[in-house]
Amino acid sequence: MEHLIENVAQTARDMFARERLLPLKTDVTPAELAAHLKRTFNFEKPMDADQVYREVTALLDRESVHSNNPRYFGLFVPQVDGLTVAAEALTALYNPVVALWEFAPAAVEMEKHVLNCFLDRLPWDKHSRTAHFTTGGTESNHTAALCALSHAFPEYGARGLRALEGDPVFYVSKESHHSFQKIANHIGIGRTSVREVPVDADFRMQASALEQRIVEDGRAGKLPFMVVGTAGTTNAGVVDPMHELAAVCKRYGLWFHVDAAWAGAALISDRLQPHLAGIEYADSITVDAHKWLSMQAGSGIFLSRQVEAVRCSFRVETPYVPESGRSNEPSPYRATLQWTRRFIGLKLMMTLAVLGREGVAQRLHRQTELGAYLRKRLRSRGWRVVNDTPFPVVCFQSESGEPVAALYEEVMGSGRVWISKTILDGREAVLRACITGARAEESDVDMLMAELERARKKVRISLGAEPELVS
């Protein structure tokens, strides 16, 4: 069945050649799909491999929102390229299990090599810094919370929350990522221990409100242990005031975690890194390579300058794992959350090797410029840009007041582009467009503009025709 591997190469070539035609919309229902699958694949009756291959690719083609189409202006899901697909295929083929150094020295060291490219962008002490790949931003943020707990409460690793003399609490902003709600649940402190600090008019965490909340919690006998700053919010790409948050953390002895899942890619660009200034004070940082760095899903990165806290959190001894002592660092399974895990870092290593750091940075710059182009076009056509960010995500409304929900339905109904809508700070409904495609061009943004104009006209007419909708 090895010939199927050649089919994949052909599928990839076909797909990249027609990427602007890939569907951005599907109306299929779960019941329809389940019925189709039942009809097509009967596990009691084995089927020809080529036929399975054809059915599977046809289904994926038809019933997916394709982020490989550069007119997908979406939720941080990137366009991938042939190089990373090849790297993923090698990962699948060699299947090195990145748990134990001795099993997979090449894979473990390649991951370290690529992660050093990120660590070297931070002025951290070489002896206390550490980094590893994770399944994504959620695992990286979870890792940060565990390390922060171990750091604040040395007994936590052995005795858990029972060892503490009160309720631990941590701080995020109202615009932070909702993974922290789940994480609070996972780590046993509960969702009510997440303090959502208000944001200012630009949707950045208010450092003064943060400090006030920490003081109040302290007086009430709570145990603050971590502050999470977001560098590039999911909604609006906004960067919290890093220096101010770092100063508050220092004053109260709290772990400073920066969630830079999307915009953290900017670390590798000389031109964009200044927008993250202050991130170097973080004790730990989340970056998702599967967002702005254009890698396939399941590629998170966790960086920290507190190697002891990280090792404490994941320390374990086993009689059945043969370690030679050739590596003077603990194997990944003893220093990270996962145990058996896939070789996540190869695609990023190969991308950096082929394009160079500067080449990858230039890809970010082009997308940043396209974001600026979109902002300019929107403003010139009577749309109001609501968010203030140097990064290529734009939140906007129509100056003439057509409702966001109606515009959104109209744009998405066409299937020619994909955008999202959201609510900023729980009060402001906006349309949201993010440049996620590394191969997106001005003509794709022009297409988006044309769709927005068409939608606005249509909504205006429908509002005029049905005045009861206006209220």
Ligand X SMILES: *Cc1c(COP(=O)(O)O)cnc(C)c1O
* Minimum gap (Å) between residue 457 Cβ and ligand X: 33
State how far the Cα of 323 lies from the Cα of 341, in Å rounded to an integer: 17
**CB-nearer residue toward ligand X: 285 or 407:** 285
Compute the CA torsion angle 396, 401, 406, 407 (nearest 10 deg). -40
Phi, psi dihedral angles at 230 (to 5 degrees): -105, 130
Looking at beta carbons only, is 141 or 398 nearer to ligand X? Answer: 141
Identify which of residues 300 and 332 has a Cβ nearer to ligand X in the complex: 300
How far apart are the two ends of the chain, measured CA to CA in Å? 62
Nearer to ligand X, 23 or 298 (CB): 298
How far lies 378's CA from each of 279, 316, 390, 406, 424, in Å?
31, 55, 16, 18, 19
Between 234 and 284, name the residue whose CB sits nearer to ligand X.
Answer: 234
Least distance from ligand X to the Cβ atom of residue 262, Å:
5
- Residues lying near ligand X in the complex (CB under 6 A): 76, 136-138, 141, 177, 179, 230, 234, 259, 261-262, 288, 300
> How many whole angstroms separate alpha carbon 109 and alpha carbon 327?
10
Least distance to ligand X from the beta carbon of 32, Å?
A: 27
Task: Report the alpha-carbon distance of residue 191 to residue 337 in Å, rounded.
Answer: 21
Nearest distance, CB of residue 177 and ligand X, angstroms: 3
| DSSP, residue by residue, 273-327 | GGGGTTGGG-SEEEEETTTTT-PPSS-EEEEES-HHHHHHHH----SSS---S-S
| Smallest separation (angstroms) from ligand X to the CB of 260 | 7
Least Å from the CB of residue 234 to ligand X: 4
Comparing CB distances to ligand X, the nearer of 132 and 177 is: 177
For ligand X, the closer CB: 227 or 459? 227
Please check whether residue 255 is in contact with residue 283, taking contact to mean a CB–CB distance below 8 angstroms: yes
In total, the chain counts a number of residues equal to 471
Residue of minimal Cβ distance to ligand X: 137
**Residue 194 CB, nearest approach to ligand X (Å):** 14
Bridging pattern class, strands 428-434 and 420-424:
antiparallel
